[in-house]
Amino acid sequence: MPLYKVVLLSFAAMITMVNPLAVVPSFVALTHDASVRTRRAVALVAGLACMAVLTLFLLAGNYVFHIFGITVPAFQIMGGVIFLTNALRTLVDDDRRAFNVGGEKQMADSDVHKAEMDPSSVAIVPLAVPMLSGPGAITSVMVLVNLYPGIEQKLAVIVAIVAVGITSWAVLLAAVPLSQVIGDRGRAVFAKIMALLLGAIGIQFIINGLKPVLVEIMRAG
C-alpha cells in the first residue's frame, strides 16, 4: 500500500477515536478560571502530549501492556474516575467573592486577575490522557501496529499522529473565542453545565470499563 494511503487511513482511524470536538466541553470546564493565554498554552501542551502518548504506544505499546498486564478496560475505568473527580471539583467550587457593607457582592481581586495555572496540570492529565489519547485512540494505535509493521509504514503512522495532534490543538483553540463571547457570568454557568456533562462522561467511561470485567466474572462463575 502507498505510504500516503497509510497516512490517510491512519489519520481517519485515530481522529475518530481521539474526537477532539467531544473534548471541547471538558476543556472549557477544566479551564474556566484560566486566562486566554493559559487556555492557549493548555491547548498546545494537550496537543503535544497527545502526539507523544500515541507515538509512545505505537513504538512500545505492546511491550508496556504485556509487561504491566494493563488492559483497555483498566484505562477506561481510571479515565472515568479522573473525569468524575474533576467534574465534582468544578461543581462544588465555592463562590469566594466578598460582600461589602451593604450586602452586595463586589468584585474580588481573583475576578480581575485570573490566577495562572501550570498548563501541564490539566493539559497532560486529564485532557491529553485519557480524554484525547484515551482507550479508543490507544486501541486504534495498537491495531495500526499490527497492520503496518514496516519501518516506513510506522513513520507514515507517526505523520498521521502529528496531524491528529495539530487538529486537536486547533479544535481546542476554538474554545477560547467561545469563552470570550459568553462573558464571565455566562462562562461560569457554562462551566457548571459542562462539568455535569464531564461527570456523566466519566461515569459512562467507568460503566464501559466495568462491562467486560463483569462479563469475564460471570463466565468464570
Model confidence at 152: pLDDT above 70: yes
Domain limits of the chain?
A: 3-93+115-220
Residue 7: pLDDT band (50, 70, 90) is very high
pLDDT, residue 104, reads 35
Q: How far apart are the first and last CA of the chain?
A: 46
pLDDT tens digits, one per residue of 89-134: 878 865 443 333 333 333 333 333 333 556 667 888 888 988 899 8
Which residues have a Cβ under 8 Å from the Cβ of 175 and sit 6 or more positions away? 24, 27, 28, 39, 43
For residue 97, give the amino acid letter: R
Q: Is 24 exposed, middle or buried (0-12, 13-18, 19+ CB in 10 A)?
A: middle
> How far, in whole angstroms, is CA 184 from its chain's centroid?
24
- 130 compared with 210, residue with greater pLDDT: 210
Question: For position 122, what pLDDT does the model report?
Answer: 84
Rounded Cα distance between 174 and 127, Å, is 15
Length of the chain as a residue count: 221
pLDDT in tens, 23-64: 877 788 788 777 878 888 999 999 999 999 999 988 886 677
Which residue has better confidence, 196 or 159? Answer: 159
Higher pLDDT, 80 or 75: 80
**Radius of gyration over every alpha carbon of the chain, rounded to an integer in angstroms:** 20
**Partners of 99 in beta bridges:** 105
pTM of the model: 0.66
Question: How many beta carbons lie within 10 A of that of residue 156, not counting itself?
Answer: 24
CA of 183: how far to CAs of 32, 36, 180, 187, 205, in Å? 11, 12, 6, 6, 31
pLDDT value, residue 166: 97
SS3 204: helix
Q: How far apart are CA 28 and CA 193, in angstroms?
A: 10
Find the helix or strand (DSSP H, E) in which 4 lies: helix 3-18
**pLDDT at residue 160, as a whole number:** 96
The region of weakest confidence among 2-6, 112-116, 149-153, 217-221 is: 112-116
pLDDT digits (tens, 9 = 90+) for 162-203: 999 999 999 898 876 755 665 567 666 766 877 787 788 788
pLDDT reported for residue 181: 63
